[in-house]
Amino acid sequence: MIDLHHHLLFGMDDGPATQRQMEQMLLRASEDGVTVVVATPHYLPGIFPFPAETYALRIRQANEATAAMGLALQVLGGAEMLYTPQAERHLAERRVPTLAGSTKVLVEFQPSVRLRELMQGMETILRGGYLPVLAHVERYGCLMAGRGEAAARLKRELEVTLQMNADTVVHGGRLGQRAAVRALLERGLVDHIASDAHNTDERGCRMGAAYRAVLGKLGLAEAERMFGTRESMAEFLDR
């Protein structure tokens, strides 16, 4: 499996604080069946400076750690960018790490964002030459009303892909959004399932359990599409 949303780099954001904790997260991801993980620390344009040098060092340290631990796990670079008024400029200045150096940018909005604002943000990203991947689609009320109609409209009108957290797949989502979570999965509107792991506890990697749930309910082709085979994800990430 390929996990394209994972806060494994230590000392960067609200993910692990120490190298040891990062190593435990890498071990957990590998045990869960992940072979490629895209490290996506938070990038908050205009709110908090992104430590680019530390980021590059941490990517190197993460790959050295997987090699030292003998794990068949490759760590690629990326970021989870919060959409802010400064996002457009940071993207234009090529400061935001894209997913594995591709044209795809993992982007999150405030959970209370309105559909109109969300779509305007996506249009801005697209105009800048990037392809947005919406992080944890289940977090936005404007997309979770009804049975996935707004998410379907978003995908019809704009070239965006939608990511759902593995934990949401396993537990079915919060009360009040369970029907929408199910509808999104059953209608094929979810493009990627990723862990959004921050630690090895309550926000840990649940990729294995989520894969088994999707395999059981929707079958192998859908599981492979959303969890990514090496080939499909290589194509997606332009590698």
Q: Residues 6 or more apart from 94 whose CB is under 8 A from it?
A: none
Angle at 11 between CA 167 and CA 50, to 5 degrees: 95
The residue among 4 and 154 lying less far from Fe ion, judged by its C-beta, is: 4
Least Å distance, CB 186 to Fe ion, is: 25
Amino acid letter, 143 = L
Q: Residues 6 or more apart from 32 whose CB is under 8 A from it?
A: 1, 205, 206, 207, 208
The residue among 32 and 196 lying less far from Fe ion, judged by its C-beta, is: 196
Least Å distance, CB 123 to Fe ion, is: 23
The residue among 17 and 92 lying less far from Fe ion, judged by its C-beta, is: 17
β 192-194/131-134 pair status: unpaired
CA distances from 133 to 70, 109, 213, 223, 231 (A): 31, 11, 23, 18, 19
CA distances from 212 to 1, 170, 209 (A): 12, 9, 5
Chain residues binding Fe ion by CB under 5 A are 80, 196
Residue found under tokens 């990037």? 130
Measured distance CA(13)–CA(229) in Å, rounded: 29
The residue among 200 and 218 lying less far from Fe ion, judged by its C-beta, is: 200
Least Å distance, CB 136 to Fe ion, is: 7
Residue with the CB atom nearest Fe ion in the bound state: 196
The residue among 41 and 208 lying less far from Fe ion, judged by its C-beta, is: 41
Least Å distance, CB 56 to Fe ion, is: 20
Least Å distance, CB 67 to Fe ion, is: 25
Measured distance CA(221)–CA(233) in Å, rounded: 14
Least Å distance, CB 231 to Fe ion, is: 26
Least Å distance, CB 2 to Fe ion, is: 16
Measured distance CA(4)–CA(197) in Å, rounded: 10
Map residue 42 onto helix, strand or coil. Answer: strand
The residue among 23 and 80 lying less far from Fe ion, judged by its C-beta, is: 80
